[in-house]
Amino acid sequence: MSTKYKLLQNVYFLGGFATMGGMLFGFDISSMSGVVGTDRYQDYFNRPSSSLQGGIVASMAAGSFCGALLAGPLGDIISRRRTIMLASCIWIIGSIIQCAAVGVSMLIVGRIINGIAVGLASMIVPVYQSEIAPKEIRGRIVSLQQWAITWGILIQYFIQYGCSFIDSDAAFRIPWGIQIVPGAILLAGISFFPYSPRWLADKGRNEEALEVLANLRAGGNKSDPAVLAEYKEIQDAITFDKTLAARSYAELFRKPALRRVFLGMTLQSWSQLTGMNVAMYYIVFIFQGAGIVGNANLQASSIQYVLNVVMTIPAILFIDKWGRRPVLLIGSTFMALWMFLIGGLMGKFGEPAILGNNTTTTWAIRNNDAASHAVIACSYLFVCSFAISWGPVSWTYPAEIYPLRIRSKAVSLSTASNWAFNFALAYAVPPLLESIQFRTYFIFGAFCVAMTIHIFFMFPETKGRTLEEMDELFNADVPAWKTRALPISKAESDVEQVMETKYEKAEVR
């Protein structure tokens, strides 16, 4: 068997390569954060006001909101794989327009088109990953999405940093043009990938579904007991689904789906209200407020991006051991602490300030190195807390809690919620930093406290269960904080049943 063929049977390779869709999101975040504070960008686009700059940044999230909603029906109709390919094509077009932008209007159009691509990819990639991954490592595979986002942020940031020394508009055009490369690689690679076995089974292509499942689980052995057991679970779930209501968005807002749809949408919304992506977009302004300017600001920002990559690794390795609930609870608790500390330090040691032609930073710490360093340290610790917890789990949880009949549409709603709040915050934060200064951080700290309470009382533990077992979990009359102790039963018994059946048939022969 060729190496190429083996790679296309390897869940880690398939799930990891697909996350280049997440890398597109990371590239976009860093493509703006690296230039918004530079003179070349400010001069070329006539020094946009805080509200206009918020609009430029938020335009990508607006496109992503639309893309996420489109991805739901597209994922069901044309498949998960082809939706990723479509996202790649749209990303390439948007990047070309953004790179060639000669004014704010053209820049916004390019970012909206890029956003549609990111919305498609950020919704459909976790669904594809969750449907090809075995339950034992599903969290790890889907978590690779967040790791790819952090790598996209880091790579693009250093490209931006290197280009910042160019004394022309190429300083921002080159990084925006380089964004075409990951889109082209994703488009070329994903065209060779298998379809999701669950999508194939749902479309009645049962032989293909069994073949893909056997390739992914047992090197092509269609008689493997674990393969047959999982295939039986998928078939049973599809048969049960056909007895229920027609597949439509209306079903998402009726019982029993409503609870899970609400949990997925609120989880993705909370992930934005932590303030993490705002910190990534506007890290330059945050460090300016801490008294760090010029190249020192860019260098301090780069450390934050490196930490974001490194601290996602423990979550990838151990999320299926730690579980989802404790990771979310501990992460939001610590993020609240760091946000309150940043706000407190800025309020205690800062003062009104205007830094050059930048109208966004109106409050800054001056002549107090200890306070400045403390703010930077808290910012780093905040990023670490997010990277090891909410970053990966906020993509994993929504992709695994829905039944197949509504999975694509429900995940599209949860992802659209993410982008709706991303849009609102990206647009609102520059005016907030301008008007209420350090108090902005207290708002995000309060959100982190609220999400901790919500997770504790409302979110069941999902680790170690197959996608088909989620109905049983969510229909159980057990409080969310006690679900961690529930037995994990059906998959193992199905394997035993398949093996017993094979043994009985062998005896008859």
Q: What is the CATH number of the domain that holds 381?
A: 1.20.1250.20
* Cα four-point dihedral sign 4, 10, 13, 18: positive
Please give the torsion angle defined by the CA atoms of residues 57, 61, 64 and 65, in that order, rounded to the nearest 10 degrees: -150
pLDDT class for 506, splitting at 50, 70, 90? very low
Instruction: Give the pLDDT confidence score for residue 11 in this predicted structure.
Output: 92
Average pLDDT over residues 84-99: 95
For residue 371, give its domain range.
8-203+257-485
Chain mean pLDDT for the chain: 85
Domain assignment present for residue 146? The answer is yes
What are the DSSP E strand ranges found in 49-98?
none
Count structural domains, the chain. Answer: 1
In a domain, 214, yes or no: no
| Among candidate residues 236, 240, 215, the one with its CA nearest the CA of residue 227 | 215
pLDDT in tens, 184-236: 999 999 999 999 999 999 999 999 999 999 999 998 899 999 999 999 999 99
Give the DSSP letter of residue 364.
Answer: E
**Is residue 404 over pLDDT 80?**
yes
Query: Which pLDDT score is estimated for 290?
Result: 66
Identify the pLDDT of residue 491: 52
Predicted local confidence at residue 202, as pLDDT: 92
Tokens of 470: 């989620």
Q: How confident is the model at residue 285 (pLDDT cuts 50, 70, 90)?
A: low
Indicate if the pLDDT at residue 489 is higher than 70: no
| Residue 145 covered by a domain | yes
Whether 124 is covered by a domain: the verdict is: yes
Distance CA 248, CA 22 (A): 27
Q: How many other C-beta atoms can be found within 10 angstroms of the C-beta atom of residue 30? A: 27
- Residue 300 predicted with pLDDT over 60: yes
Q: Is residue 508 part of a domain?
A: no
Q: At what angle do helices 11-18 and 138-163 cross, to 10 degrees?
A: 40
Number of neighbours of residue 461 by Cβ within 10 angstroms: 18
Least confident of 102-111, 318-327, 342-351: 342-351
Distances (CA, A) of 232 to 45, 102, 240, 501: 59, 57, 12, 13
State the pairing for strand pair 363-365/350-352.
Answer: antiparallel
pLDDT band at 276 (very low <50, low <70, confident <90, very high): confident
Is residue 306 pLDDT above 50, yes or no?
yes
Name the token pair of 12: 């880690």
Which 3 state secondary structure label does DSSP give 22?
helix
Q: Is residue 212 part of a domain?
A: no
Residues 63-81 pLDDT 10s: 999 999 999 999 999 999 9
What percentage of the chain reaches a pLDDT higher than 90? 49
**pLDDT value at 1 more than 50:** no
Under 8 Å between Cβ of 423 and 63: no
Instruction: Check pLDDT > 60 for residue 317.
Output: yes
Question: Is 287 a member of any domain?
Answer: yes
Q: Which amino acid type is present at position 246?
A: A
- Least confident range from 5-14, 295-304, 331-340, 448-457: namely 295-304
The verdict on residue 230 lying in a domain is: no
* Residues 6 or more apart whose Cβ sits within 8 Å of residue 21: 84, 87, 88, 121, 122, 124, 125, 145, 148, 186
CA distance 325 to 397: 10
